[in-house]
A and B are shown apart, each in its own frame.
Chain A
Amino acid sequence: MKKTFLFSLSLVALMVGCSKGNTTENKPLKIIAPVGAPAYAFYNEYNNENFETNAVPKNIIAQMTSSSENDIVVIDTTSGIQAINNGAPYKIASTITFGNFYIASTGNDENTTMEGDDKIILFGQGQTPDKIFHYLYGSEFDANIEYVAAASDAAACLVSGKNVATGSSVDYVFLAQPALQVALSNQNAATYGKASIYESIQEKYEAKNEGKKMMQASVFVKNTANKESVNTFLGNLKTNITSLLETPALLSSTVGTLELDVQKTKFGAPAAVVQAVTTKGNQLGLGYLEAFANKEAIDTFLGLFNIQQTNEEIYYK
């Protein structure tokens, strides 16, 4: 009798254990985003322990595996789609960043027009900034382009007016917001007061592509994530981004309540700086567009990177 009771109890425990392991209902969604502009789309999640950021985008891509605990991954569209093509169990749901790239002038160029003999700094050779720059400007400036490894190195060039690695004087720097605003507002910078925004890359891109937006960073949903929770999450995300663009001051009551250093580490820039650039015509390039409805724009953007047209199966519907 005792043995039968114990056996039944273990069986029940086993069944409860198994059923718990398989369900995704009521489980909060785990979200990961790179620091910078995409992270700020999640300003309302500033206190959510299931929302995580990472300072190295490649590390986020490395975690797009079947064993990953991340239900929602935010990453640049090209890397995310390439990861799916390589077998990552995710689908693209929406695009939330439509370009935050700018060319900034250091103030060193006397005629204030970017020409072939001007020294230009690009970051990430062969990566998104490099490809977009060449797509828009061709090879006209190639003779005087100097590459640096990361956006932070490019920001150092804008702040000092020099390429620290080569020692050469710099005229223009390709940079992304909010790093650009942080550099421009640095009062200790050698270029403070002289440096300014020269050109918006996304405006130039849209002009060249009949108004099609630059589908820079997107939301990817894990195949095993609970659909109902994901739909609610995506709906809330759309509402939150719309609210932020209408009322940038929302940042000060959310991310802005965190310690300044936490704002910088977790989100990539202080909330006040981001609020300033969002007020100045959405310079972070935030927005919300469903991916499947904008397949054409995504394919156009991917074309820059020689990635073949996307298959409908990779879209979250």
Chain B
Amino acid sequence: MKKFITNNYTLYSIGFILFLLIWTVISLSIQERDLIFPDPLSTLKTTFELLKTSYVYKSLGASFLKMIIGFLISLALALIFGTIAGNIKYSEKIMAPTILILKTIPTASLVFLFLVLFNAKYTPIAIVALISFPILFESVLGGIKNIDKDILDALKMENCSEFRKLIKVKLPLAFPYILVGIFSSFALSFKIEIMAEVISGSTSYGLGSAISSAQKNNPADMAPIFAYSLIAIIFIILFSLITRLIANKLKIIDVKF
């Protein structure tokens, strides 16, 4: 019995049921429920209705694609600057203020800046790239800094270029750290993408645009907004689970569920 209660899946289920209960209680305590806080059931009903339309899939796909582009730009930059910081003396300290500023700058300020520099269509991509950069940078840097000293000493004896050492030894050894950084910033990037779409006022396909449009076109019904959010949550959880399962299968990292 104790084993059953302390089982991870049982605990997750209890947490999930508790969450649904709190959601229902809050919803029931609000008079204008549909207007302000729809209950789980009406949210689920609207979600199923939305899932029947192709617009949702196109929007989800567009948001995901934009997020991936931004994320890959960020990863490329993080690999370049992270390896520089991890290999060249003093460069970590020189880069530290920039990384700190990027970590703390309000996202909304960046949205307005990028709106002027680019346009609404590309703003979310730029935002995702810049917001996820410090996390990915630190994971690359952490990975390189945590390479065993003996391995580094052995590398010094090798008669090959620094670039070759980096590609063949250092980055593969740092990879598990980088992967943890990727996983931890992935959900954040998707949230940022959706928020940037809303603030930038983009009207092309995207979950943020869909949420904004739902709010404008039917302001007396919050259920579609909750439903779009639920779709985003389910998508990101499923995506994270699948990628982590693959990583586990390939024995790249060991992540417990």
Given A55-B216, A179-B216, A261-B210, CB of A160 within 8 Å of CB of B116: no
Instruction: Say whether A52 faces chain B, with CB atoms less than 8 Å apart.
Output: yes
For residue A223, which residues in chain B have a CB less than 8 angstroms away from its CB? none
C-beta contact mask, A46-84 vs B, less than 8 Å → 1, else 0? 000000111110011011010111100000000000000
Name the residue of chain B whose CB is nearest to the CB of A182: B217
* B120–A54 touching, CB < 8 Å: yes
Residues of chain B in range 219-247 having any CB-CB distance to chain A below 8 Å? 219-221
Cβ of A262 under 8 Å from chain B: yes
Q: B26 — which chain A residues lie within 8 A by C-beta?
A: none
Specify which of B117, B120, B218 is in contact with A182 (CB 8 Å cutoff): B218
**Contacting chain A: which of B85-93, B148-156, B198-206?**
B198-206
- Cα–Cα distance between A186 and B221 once the two chains are bound (Å): 10
Check if B184 is an interface residue, CB within 8 A of chain A. Answer: no
Contacts A259-B55, A261-B53, A265-B213 given; indicate if A153 touches B219 (C-beta within 8 A).
Answer: yes
- The contact of B203 among A35, A63, A188, by CB within 8 Å, is A35
Instruction: For A53, list chain B residues within 8 Å (CB).
Output: 203
**Is there contact, CB below 8 Å, between B216 and A63?**
no
User: What is the CA–CA distance of A183 and B35 in the complex, to the nearest angstrom?
Assistant: 13
The interface size bin for chain A is 35 or more
Q: Does B119 contact A (CB under 8 A)?
A: yes
Contact B201 A54 (CB under 8 A): yes
CB neighbours of A152 from chain B (8 A): 215-216, 219
B116 touches A56 (CB 8 A): no
Q: Total contacts A to B, CB within 8 angstroms?
A: 92
User: Is A269 part of the binding interface, using a Cβ–Cβ cutoff of 8 Å?
Assistant: yes
In which size bucket is the chain B interface? Answer: 20 to 34
Instruction: Report if A159 contacts B (CB, 8 A).
Output: yes
Pairwise interchain contact B220-A159, C-beta atoms closer than 8 A: yes
Chain A residues within an 8 Å CB radius of B199: 56
Q: Check A264–B217 contact: CB distance below 8 A.
A: yes
Interface of B is mostly: helix
Minimum CB–CB distance from B160 to chain A (whole Å) comes to 36
Assess whether B159 is interfacial by the CB under 8 Å rule: no
Min CB distance B60 to A, Å, is: 13
B54 at the interface (CB under 8 A from A): yes
> Which residues on B sit within 8 Å (CB–CB) of A153?
219
Contacts of B35 in A (CB 8 A): 156, 160, 164
Quote the shortest CB–CB distance from A275 to chain B (angstroms). 16
CB of B203 within 8 A of CB of A55, answer yes
Q: Decide if A59 touches B120 in the complex (CB within 8 Å).
A: yes
Interface centre among A55, A68, A153, A164 (most CB of B within 10 A): A55
Pairwise interchain contact B221-A55, C-beta atoms closer than 8 A: no
Q: Does B77 contact A (CB under 8 A)?
A: no
Decide if A119 is an interface residue (CB 8 Å cutoff).
no
Complex: chain A residue closest to B219, CB-CB? A156
Across the two chains, which residue of chain A brings its CB closest to B216?
Answer: A152
Point out the residues of chain A lying under 8 angstroms from B120, CB to CB: 52, 54, 59, 63
- Is A38 located at the chain interface by the 8 A CB criterion? no
Q: Is the CB of B209 within 8 A of A55?
A: yes
Partner pick for A162 among B32, B204, B216, CB 8 A cutoff = B32
A197 to chain B, nearest CB (A): 18
CA distance A56 to B209 in the complex (A): 11
A11 to chain B, nearest CB (A): 33
**Nearest residue in A to B222 (C-beta to C-beta)?**
A156
9 A-B pairs with least C-beta separation = A56-B201, A156-B219, A159-B220, A261-B55, A265-B213, A55-B201, A54-B201, A152-B219, A152-B216
Beyond A188-B34, A266-B204, 4 extra complex contacts between A and B, CB < 8 Å: A55-B201, A55-B202, A162-B32, A265-B209
User: Which residues in B have some Cβ–Cβ distance to A below 8 Å?
Assistant: 32, 34-36, 53-55, 112, 115-117, 119-121, 199-204, 209-210, 212-213, 215-221
